[in-house]
Amino acid sequence: MVKILVSGMLGHMGRLVAELADADKECELLGGVDLRTGELFGAPVYASFADVPERADAVIDFSSAANLANVLGYATKNRCAAVLAATGYTEDDLRAIEEASKQTAVFKTANLSVGINLLQKLVREAAAFLGDAFDIEIVEKHHNLKKDAPSGTALMLAESAAEGCGADKHFIYGREGMVGARDKSEIGIHAVRGGTIVGEHEVLFAGEDEIVTLSHSARSKKVFASGAIAAAKFIFGKPAGKYDMRDLLNG
């Protein structure tokens, strides 16, 4: 039985995670932390980690990158595994995650869907195969409430593409004005926001007279919530260290 604490439990993703944890026979929904207090599926929602009376086995964070220090503070103090699912981390945040992973098991991914992780692999392979002859551009689309841009997933895909190319690439975020001809070393990343779009990612390899497009479309946020529960079960009891979707899918 994995005792789960949900950070950001009253948000869109937090509610779904709480619902799945509550229904899962291998999990116990201990409660949650959010800016407001309350109750969900019979579990309390606290205003601060300091108020949580019992030690959780795993904390799943779907709050905000701005809450990272609190999440890591709780996880390291209690030697509790952490699933970091929020996006928009800074370089300092990434260093803090690295430090925390020396003390407890930390699972981090900008995208908890199996499909996106396959897409990442395909993008790396396509970039290696097509090489510099093809220009790489990424277009991501999300709902109008998303706070960070571009999406963490678009960045993850851009990094995979750059890795695959094996050449120096730099990221260009949108284009405007007289930007001049496209440089070979660019990977363009474009963010579209509107309505209730769950998450669309398209990676274009544009060559001379031909285009290869690899894409993924999330149809429901449930795919991320069930991925988070799977990640929590996966890292529960694992030694301190950094884990991601590749470990989960391979293990």
Ligand X SMILES: NC(=O)c1ccc[n+]([C@@H]2O[C@H](COP(=O)([O-])OP(=O)(O)OC[C@H]3O[C@@H](n4cnc5c(N)ncnc54)[C@H](O)[C@@H]3O)[C@@H](O)[C@H]2O)c1
Binding site for ligand X (CB under 6 A): 8, 10-14, 33-35, 62-64, 66-67, 85-88, 109-112, 224
Q: Give 6 or 162: the residue with its C-beta nearer to ligand X.
A: 6
Shortest distance, CB of residue 97 to ligand X, whole angstroms?
14
Contact between residue 173 and residue 121 where contact means Cβ atoms under 8 Å apart: no
Q: Give 71 or 165: the residue with its C-beta nearer to ligand X.
A: 71
Shortest distance, CB of residue 100 to ligand X, whole angstroms?
17
Shortest distance, CB of residue 209 to ligand X, whole angstroms?
36
Residue nearest to ligand X (CB): 11
Contact between residue 196 and residue 204 where contact means Cβ atoms under 8 Å apart: no
Q: Which of 142, 169, 201, 233 is catalytic?
A: 142
Q: Which of 121, 146, 238, 242 is catalytic?
A: 146
Shortest distance, CB of residue 64 to ligand X, whole angstroms?
4
Shortest distance, CB of residue 184 to ligand X, whole angstroms?
31
Q: Give catalytic status of residue 143 as yes or no.
A: no
Q: Give catalytic status of residue 146 as yes or no.
A: yes
Q: Give 180 or 195: the residue with its C-beta nearer to ligand X.
A: 195
Q: Give 30 or 112: the residue with its C-beta nearer to ligand X.
A: 112
HEC letters along the chain:
CEEEEEECCCCHHHHHHHHHHHHCCCEEEEEEECCCCEEECCEEEECCHHHCCCCCCEEEECCCHHHHHHHHHHHHHHCCEEEECCCCCCHHHHHHHHHHCCCCEEEECCCCCHHHHHHHHHHHHHHHHHHHHCEEEEEEEECCCCCCCCCHHHHHHHHHHHHHHCCCCEEEECCCCCCCCCCCCEEEEEEEECCCCCEEEEEEEECCCCEEEEEEEECCCHHHHHHHHHHHHHHCCCCCEEECHHHHHHC
Residues 6+ apart with CB under 8 A from 26: 1, 2, 233
Q: Give 165 or 232: the residue with its C-beta nearer to ligand X.
A: 232
| Active site positions, annotated | 142, 146
